[in-house]
């Protein structure tokens, strides 16, 4: 959800802060966000040495725009409508996020996160082997097309685990000269490949089930053992879904979606197989078609979502607002944030920031200030790479817009 904030404040010296407008980038081209015109920036330059490695502090970011004054307390929101309450609650969270200190993840936190992800990946792989065996046994015992559909999904889960483990391994191998930007996007590619296989399998299931409908389908023989095997598979899938849902990682979240789908498919498959046994044999192949259509739709959505990440979809609007605020408050010599863009390159984002410094700023100070801002932005967990461009004015044609440059040349 995007917000627009408009501020007009004066500092202790009576200097006016220009309006800061942060619009939703999905509705507008990335607008030029005007930063802070401070007295210190207009005074004679103090050529202080900037330690480019000291880019973070446990203290919250400065609040020259008095964002905290815009927060609404619970008492102020009492009696407001549901939509108004949600709006101001989201605004409070956004302000807290913008003022939060930029600190790197502790080594133990990184290791703990990696451990959670590894448990999700390898636990899913081990469970996929067991689940495939259970569902295969249930399908062979019952002869149900609906359970065969869930079994085929289980086989693809087994294949997906192999793909995810392989891409995770390749993405962590470093080859500086062949892949200068790293192999982190292998993870997203693996999800796209797996999703494509799932959609292909769904089409094959639909064709096979239609063929069964055109003939005279045999009623499935759903016994107690088949039901018990599917119930065990559902319990295992539910446990995996809850765990993966709690892990904040792109791969784990994708697996949680798959486990959620499997929960629905297994429950739906056993119900339709039971109805095919007790009511009408035609229900079983119809159920297999419905299951295949569900798999096709859900994984087509996943593939489209991750293709957009590879292509370079814009980052979340609130995240871009935080990047703009970090750049604006990084140093008092920054007069303006001319442009701030962030777009996906796989699961993480590339950041491009154009800042304006006084024309008399020396090369040394410009370089060190820009590099320190770059290092600070790259501390954010979502950021893969940050680029900072330093300028001395903001009235020119926006950088890196070839079509605009050709018009003005």
DSSP per-residue codes, 92-126 = HHHHHHHHS---PPPHHHHHHHHHHHHHHHHHHHH
Looking at residue 39, its pLDDT comes to: 38
Q: What is the pLDDT of residue 407?
A: 58
The DSSP code sequence of 295-336 is HHHHHHHHHHHHHHHHHTPBPPHHHHHHHHHHHHTS-TT--E
pLDDT at 57: 59
368-375: Cβ within 8 A, 24+ apart: 368/49, 368/50, 368/52, 369/50, 369/330, 369/331, 369/333, 369/334, 371/52, 372/50, 372/51, 372/52, 372/54, 372/55, 372/330, 372/331, 373/55, 373/326, 373/327, 373/330, 373/331, 375/52, 375/53, 375/55
Torsion-angle region of residue 323: left (phi > 0), alpha (psi -120 to 50) or beta?
Answer: alpha
Query: Residue 312, by phi and psi: left (phi above 0), alpha (psi -120 to 50) or beta?
Result: left
Q: Which pLDDT does position 7 carry in this prediction?
A: 34
Q: What is the pLDDT of residue 45?
A: 42
CATH class of residue range 107-311: mainly alpha
- Cβ pair 234, 263 in contact under 8 A: yes
Q: What share of the chain is helix, strand, coil (3-state, %, to 5)?
A: 60, 10, 35
- Six-digit token pair at 344? 């996906």
What superfamily would CATH give domain 9-105+316-408? Cation efflux protein, cytoplasmic domain (3.30.70.1350)
Start-end ranges of CATH 3.30.70.1350 in the chain?
9-105+316-408
Q: Mean pLDDT per segment of 10 residues, for the chain of length 409 residues?
A: 36 39 39 40 45 59 83 85 87 86 71 78 81 81 76 74 73 72 75 80 81 73 78 85 81 77 79 78 81 82 86 90 91 90 89 93 92 91 90 74 56
How many CB atoms neighbour CB 80 within 10 A?
Answer: 13
pTM: 0.65
What pLDDT score was predicted for residue 214? 79
User: Which one, of 82, 40, 26, 14, lies nearest residue 321 by Cα?
Assistant: 26
Per DSSP bridges, beta strands 383-391 and 349-356 are parallel
**Which residues make up the CATH 1.20.1510.10 domain(s) of the chain?**
107-311
């Amino acid at each position: 959800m995007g917000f627009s904030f408009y501020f007009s404040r004066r500092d202790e010296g009576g200097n006016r802060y220009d309006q800061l407008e942060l619009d939703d980038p999905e509705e507008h081209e990335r607008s030029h966000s005007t930063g802070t015109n401070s007295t210190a920036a207009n005074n004679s330059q103090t050529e202080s040495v900037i330690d480019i490695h000291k880019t973070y502090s446990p203290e919250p970011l400065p609040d020259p725009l008095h964002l905290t004054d815009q927060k609404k307390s619970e008492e102020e929101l009492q009696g407001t409508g549901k939509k108004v309450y949600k709006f101001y609650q989201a605004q409070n969270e956004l302000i807290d996020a913008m003022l939060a200190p930029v600190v790197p993840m502790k080594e133990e936190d990184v290791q703990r996160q990696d451990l959670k992800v590894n448990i999700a990946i390898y636990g899913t792989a081990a469970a996929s082997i067991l689940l495939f065996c259970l569902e295969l046994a249930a399908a062979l015992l019952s002869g149900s097309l609906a359970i065969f559909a869930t079994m085929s999904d289980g086989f693809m889960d087994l294949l997906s685990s192999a793909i995810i483990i392989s891409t995770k391994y390749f993405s962590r191998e470093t080859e500086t000269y062949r892949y200068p930007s790293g192999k982190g996007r292998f993870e997203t590619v693996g999800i796209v490949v797996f999703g494509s296989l799932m959609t292909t399998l769904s089409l094959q299931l639909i064709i096979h089930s239609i063929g069964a409908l055109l003939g005279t389908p045999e009623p499935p023989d759903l016994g107690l053992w088949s039901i018990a095997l599917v119930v065990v598979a559902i319990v295992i899938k539910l446990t995996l879904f809850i765990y993966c849902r709690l892990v904040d990682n792109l791969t784990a979240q994708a697996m949680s979606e798959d486990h959620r789908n499997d929960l629905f498919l297994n429950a739906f498959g056993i119900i339709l197989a039971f109805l095919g046994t007790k009511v009408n044999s035609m229900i079983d192949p119809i159920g297999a078609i419905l299951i295949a259509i569900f798999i096709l739709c859900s994984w087509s959505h996943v593939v489209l979502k991750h293709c957009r990440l590879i292509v370079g979809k814009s980052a979340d609007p609130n995240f871009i607002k935080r990047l703009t605020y970090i750049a604006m408050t990084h140093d008092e010599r920054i007069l303006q944030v001319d442009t701030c863009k962030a777009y996906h390159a796989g699961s993480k984002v590339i950041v491009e920031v154009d800042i304006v410094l006084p024309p008399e700023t020396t090369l040394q100070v410009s370089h060190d200030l820009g590099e320190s801002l770059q290092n600070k932005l790259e501390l954010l967990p979502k950021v893969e790479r940050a680029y900072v461009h330093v300028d001395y004015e903001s009235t020119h044609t926006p950088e890196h817009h070839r079509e605009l440059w050709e018009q003005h040349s």
